[in-house]
Chain A
Amino acid sequence: MSGVVAGFGTEEAMEQAFARLHDAGLAGETYSPHPPEGAPKRSWIPAVILIGGFAAAGGFFALQCYALMFNYPFDIGGRPLFSWPAYIPLAFEGGVLIAIFAGFFGFLIACRLPYLYDPIDEIDAFRAASRDTYFVAVRTGDPERIRQARELLRPLDPLLIEDIPP
């Protein structure tokens, strides 16, 4: 066994079970069909997107400065080589492109995805986590802690409690 999972019919019951496990020092994880409302911690992805976007925008701006001022300076009717307003479009578009990628790959890294197999998938009823059932799971190999978690969860009247296979 590598843990225990319990399913509930409502989000509130799931939150309550999670809080109870948390108070007992059993680190748990929730699984829900839609983003849970009580967001406990903030995500660092927006910061990654911001940094990635601005770094890329600055990089593309610098690239244009290098290309048009130093690598291939070209005098067109005495106009200034550092014509920065015309450099902004590519800086913006390049910044957006990298920001979107930063968000996507940042998400994959933050959630350790792709993660195609998890022992929890062996539990058939867990498929309802992407439908209408809210789950809490405790991952531990210690039988004593699994027993403790089961005892905490049972009075909450879950729809099901199952062991996660190893």
Chain B
Amino acid sequence: MSGAEASPAGGATAQISRAYLLEQQSGGVQLPMQPVLLPGQTAGSMTDRICALALRERAFLWWWVLLVPFALMFLLGVCSGFWLFYRGPGVWGVDWPVMWGFALVNYVWWIAIASGGTFVSALFYLVRVDWRTSINRTAETMLLFAAVAAGLYPIMHLGRPWFAYWLFPYPDTMALWPQFRSPLFWDFAALFTYVVASIVFWYFGLIPDFASVRDRARRRGSQLLYGMLALGFRGSGREWRHFRAAYGVMAAIMAPLVISVHSFVGNDFAAAQTTGWHSTEFPPFFVFGALHSGFAVVVLLIIPLRRLYRLEAFITSRHLDALGKLMIVTTFCMAYAYMMDAFNSFYSPDRAEHVYAQAAMFGRYAGIFWGKIALNVFLPQLLWFRAVRLNQIMMLLIALGVTVGMWLERFDIVIVSLSYSKIPSSWGYFHPTFWDWSLMAGTIGLFFGGYLLAIRLIPVVSMYEMRELMKKRRA
């Protein structure tokens, strides 16, 4: 180490070559520190490469190998959905006092993952972060399927899901309105807007890229498909002028929207009188959690994507490094939120709060509590080391750990609080059934299967933004 630093060649060249050597020695796991875009790529070569991925006649073998298990999981989820609709929510382990079982745990978990994707795509667009360009498509696609997975749960949890449309404010013959003053209604409004707005924002950003794919397509079928999806976008001065203005404003709207969505999810809990929930801290606490899990899932998706699709020139170690640093920030946000949560419980004059907090930390669910602390707060501390941030296996493991840790946190919030209500005689534990787990597996299948279908059909990197970035780099 010191020898290399003292070498007369010094500087960047020696460091890069040493890093490349290191990558070769460790089988490509450890990466050198790279720029946002590797040299040797032009606008033409990049466009051809990304379009060819979408236009491949046959999918890669690994694609099928990955898709089949996720498709089977999704089918299992569909079956458990039918069983649930046939028999009612009693097939789940929900029972008094824990009436918000896995449905709410997974709802909050998925919507948090989705929200993190919007942060990468909209917020970092507004602050002109250059490393966002090649991963925003992944972040947006991820948020789309996570939001769909999240949106299914409240409907399934309704008990009478065929009345889900009663949530819309429409003049009905019963002269009833939804309860506009309830955070549960705000949550519905926010989630509905979020899913619809995300789909529009995602498709809008894809229009110029669909045009690129259309112009490269050689088969009639793909020409028709991408031709229709591109809506006849040709890149004229007028189209770009309006496109850029509209995209910028949409991004500026999406950023506060996503904060509102997760704040309202937090309000679902905070407005209730339940022990452990009734706290003004919840809305920002939930937004921190959304950032933490969203960044983790972006890492979880882009590391295999760059390797399997050979996108190392566009998704470089710089991206992993930046996301790793962001996770250090969010892990401290989480640590602060956990600290304040515990402080609020013990500072409260309410004896039920003290009992609940002690039970959460040392009772039956202590493993969940300490698991969430270990995975969300202590594990990401490894990211302080650059060697860890540039190590793909370590990044994958940490991202997976945070994703699981965030699920434990949702379990801790939803189920542990409900288990220890104010009257000890009505305490009770939650026992998930097979159908709880199978439906959760179904949403995981929906998420990854949907993502795999999307990367098969749409350009995985935002090409027009990459061309803009390349032009700026050359200038």
Which chain A residues have a beta carbon within 8 Å of chain B's beta carbons?
A: 11, 18, 29-36, 39-43, 45-46, 49, 53, 63-64, 67-68, 71-72, 83, 86-87, 89-90, 92-94, 96-97, 99-101, 103-104, 106-108, 110-111, 113-118, 120, 127-132
Contacts and interface: CB of A to CB of B under 8 A. Distances in A.
A131 B48 CA distance: 8
B-side binding surface: helix, strand, loop or mixed?
A: helix
Given A33-B43, A72-B177, A132-B47, A94 B193 contact: yes
If over half of A's interface residues share one DSSP class (helix, strand or loop), that class is named, otherwise mixed; here it is helix
Interface in B185-219: 185-186, 189-190, 192-193, 196-197, 200-201, 204, 208, 211-212, 214-216
A131 B231 contact: no
B212 A68 contact: no
Nearest to A83: B181
Interface residues of B, number: 60
Contacts of A35: 240-241, 243-244, 464, 468
Of B192, B204, B227, B240, most buried by chain A (CB within 10 Å of CB) is B240
B231 A49 contact: no
Given A71-B177, A96-B257, A130-B211, A34 B232 contact: no
Given A113-B233, A130-B212, A41 B180 contact: no
Interface of B: 42-44, 47-48, 169, 175-177, 180-181, 185-186, 189-190, 192-193, 196-197, 200-201, 204, 208, 211-212, 214-216, 227-228, 231-246, 248-250, 253-254, 256-257, 260, 264, 464-465, 467-468, 471
B246 A67 contact: no
A104 B242 CA distance: 10
B249 A46 contact: yes
A94 B186 CA distance: 11
A89 B377 CA distance: 32
8 shortest interchain CB distances as A-B pairs: A43-B245, A115-B232, A89-B186, A127-B215, A86-B181, A132-B43, A114-B231, A132-B44
B242 A96 contact: no
28 contacts: A11-B471, A34-B468, A35-B240, A35-B241, A41-B241, A42-B241, A46-B249, A64-B180, A68-B177, A71-B177, A72-B176, A89-B186, A89-B190, A89-B260, A97-B196, A100-B196, A100-B201, A107-B242, A110-B238, A111-B233, A113-B233, A114-B231, A116-B231, A118-B234, A130-B208, A130-B212, A130-B214, A132-B467
A89 B234 contact: no
Contact of A43 (B48, B211, B212, B241): B241
Given A94-B193, A97-B196, A111 B468 contact: no
